[in-house]
Structure 1
Amino acid sequence: EHVYAAAMTSLAGKLHTKMQSTISECAVEAAEAITMTSNDSVVADPTRVKVIARSGPSLEQSKLITGLALPKKRAHVEMPSTLGAGSILLVDGGLELRSLSTDVQLSVTSTSVLQSFRDAEQQRLLEQVEMLKKLDITLLACREGIDDSMHAHLAEAGIKAFRRVAKSDLELLARGCGARLVPTIHQAKDADVGVFISSRCERWGDVDHWILETDEGGATFVASGSTETVVGEVERCFADALGVACRLKEDPRLIPGGGATYIALARRLRRYAETVPGREQLAIEAFADGLETIPRVLAENAGMDSIDTLLQIVSIQSTENDDTIGLNVLTRQPENMREANIVEPSRVLEQAISGASEATIAVLRIDDVLWAKQEISVPDDVQATLDGTAADRR
């Protein structure tokens, strides 16, 4: 529930409320599908979720599919459309006739010589099919092509094959199946073979898709929209919500949103500044002003007066001693952010403050260096006065 609330908060002001809810639910479900435990730590890598764009269907048809979905058609119709649990081999190459590696000319004196050359190549491909049988492969994915003459042999062996799969998709499949990419089938070993739970083919509109479910999890988000612009916005919203959901799987700490935490930090910094003598007090005050930029911008985006809103929230927090009071942009009123389910990951705040601080320090250091390299010189108007050549302004 808290993960869903944080995902909804990240989508505030984007799309309409119904789609915010749909995308947040998909993001939470996807984060759960890819969450793994490694060395006593929880890891949720959002790059393990594949996104497919579909222009044409309505926005509401966006959905999440359990498993990895690729816009691919099996190499031959005789190959099985659906498979249960089995073994998969991922090849960073193909199963096709070789071309000459050097620019040479062959003089063929007899058709039998040419036929024997072709037969030798066919035999080499058949040997690779036999190797797939020995490895007990039921699913084959190649980055390059698969020779047409091998389609029937693969289908007869009960092997479902896909050709010209992108390298990035092969790497995604390898992570999900526990397989390793091999340059050629000849180099494949038992340790390179992965496993999967099920494989099926579905047709969405005019495009065939291959859906693979694995033990290591994985999910595919189908972003739909009437135009490419709408689809792009759906993809960006899902990426934001998924990032929040994954971060919360790794670090479940939540803080109040709506600018409440920034205002509370600024209030404490100003009280602390009163105890610091010297010019450092001015630096602390400036840092507090910077923290209040976020709630100011929130108020402006909601069409409210930023100064009045900020002062009102500061007053309520101080009077009620409640650091969870922030701005609800939907009701345009200061509210308890936890009760309103407006929350965000604490890691987001930590990264924002540390990143901004480091960037500011780096800029100030560069500025100091540039000023230090400048030579001391007298301004032109002062030099003219000293030389007695200044224009008479009387």
Structure 2
Amino acid sequence: MTSAGDDKFTFIEGVKNPHSCTVLIQGSTDHAIAQMKDAIKDGLRATQNCVEDEAIVPGAGAFEIAAHVHLEQFKRTVEGKPRLGVEIFAKALLVVPKTLLENSGLDVQDKLLRVLADRENKHRVVGVSVASGDPIDPAIEGIYDNFLVKKQMLGLAPVLAEQLLLVDEVIRAGKSMKSDGGMQG
């Protein structure tokens, strides 16, 4: 019998072939407990994806940075309008490292340019440090993303962009906003 606060718990340990476990969560508020539960579920889902995929990719925006650099090189081999599409898709991939930098309160443009230059000059896997914004090797830092998540991202991004382009009318607050700028009710 072990105490945790006012509650008493019985822990069964040393089971030779366990197939389940219980995670004890304590927090000062219901909100804090809910956040911990979400974090645990996210971690378990990421672990499940990793086991099922049998693959991971470098995190910290490294996948997106590498894909951006590759598409920028590929763009040189494409002519006409498709070239613009490749360029736009390459730029769109940088949203992930930009968001990491912005959420860290860092100078996004300055730090991103430094990271891209490091990637292009040293031809190595590079991600962004959320602490400093400097280039890092995510594998050394132990930062990885799920392969399945990146695969789904690459598959869904063009589909969502196409769907947005097909929108011919925006409905806002119960009113229709036509392209002529007038509102109709």
Which TM-score tier does this pair reach, normalised by the shorter chain?
A: 0.7 to 0.9
Please tell me whether the aligned partners of residues 257 and 343 of structure 1 are also in contact (alpha carbons under 8 angstroms). Answer: yes
| Superimposed CA distance per residue, residues 318-377 of structure 1 (whole angstroms, 9 cap, x where no aligned partner) | 11111x11112134421111111111221121122222222222222x33xx38xxxxxx
Partner of 1:235: 37
Letter in 1 for 2:147: S
Partner of 2:110: 308
Please tell me whether the aligned partners of residues 101 and 108 of structure 2 are also in contact (alpha carbons under 8 angstroms). Answer: yes
- Compute the displacement of 1:216 (Å): 8.9
Q: So what's the TM-score if we normalise by structure 2?
A: 0.78
- Give SS of 2:142's match: coil
Partner of 2:172: none
1:292 aligns with 2:106: no
Partner of 1:42: none
Please tell me whether the aligned partners of residues 252 and 345 of structure 1 are also in contact (alpha carbons under 8 angstroms). Answer: no
Instruction: Say which one has the larger Rg.
Output: 1
Letter in 1 for 2:20: G
Matches within 5 A, 1:1-394: 205=7, 217-322=19-124, 324-364=125-165, 366-367=166-167, 370=168
CA distance in 2 between partners of 1:217 and 1:207 (Å)? 20
| Superimposed CA distance per residue, residues 147-202 of structure 1 (whole angstroms, 9 cap, x where no aligned partner) | xxxxxxxxxxxxxxxxxxxxxxxxxxxxxxxxxxxxxxxxxxxxxxxxxxxxxxxx
Runs of 4 or more consecutive aligned structure 1 residues displaced over 6 Å after TM superposition: none
- Compute the displacement of 1:277 (Å): 1.1
- Compute the displacement of 1:243 (Å): 0.9
Query: Structure 1 vs Structure 2: percent identity of aligned residues?
Result: 25
Please tell me whether the aligned partners of residues 299 and 327 of structure 1 are also in contact (alpha carbons under 8 angstroms). Answer: yes
- Compute the displacement of 1:219 (Å): 3.0
- Give SS of 2:100's match: helix
Please tell me whether the aligned partners of residues 259 and 294 of structure 1 are also in contact (alpha carbons under 8 angstroms). Answer: yes
Higher strand share: 1
Pairwise CA RMSD:
2.5
Q: So what's the TM-score if we normalise by structure 1?
A: 0.38
Letter in 2 for 1:299: L
Higher helix share: 2
Partner of 2:176: none
- Compute the displacement of 1:217 (Å): 2.4
- Compute the displacement of 1:233 (Å): 0.9
- Give SS of 1:220's match: coil
Segments of 5+ residues of structure 1 without an aligned counterpart are 1-56, 59-203, 372-378, 380-394
Structure with bigger RCO (C-alpha 8 Å, 6+ apart):
1
- Compute the displacement of 1:290 (Å): 0.8
CA distance in 2 between partners of 1:289 and 1:359 (Å)? 16
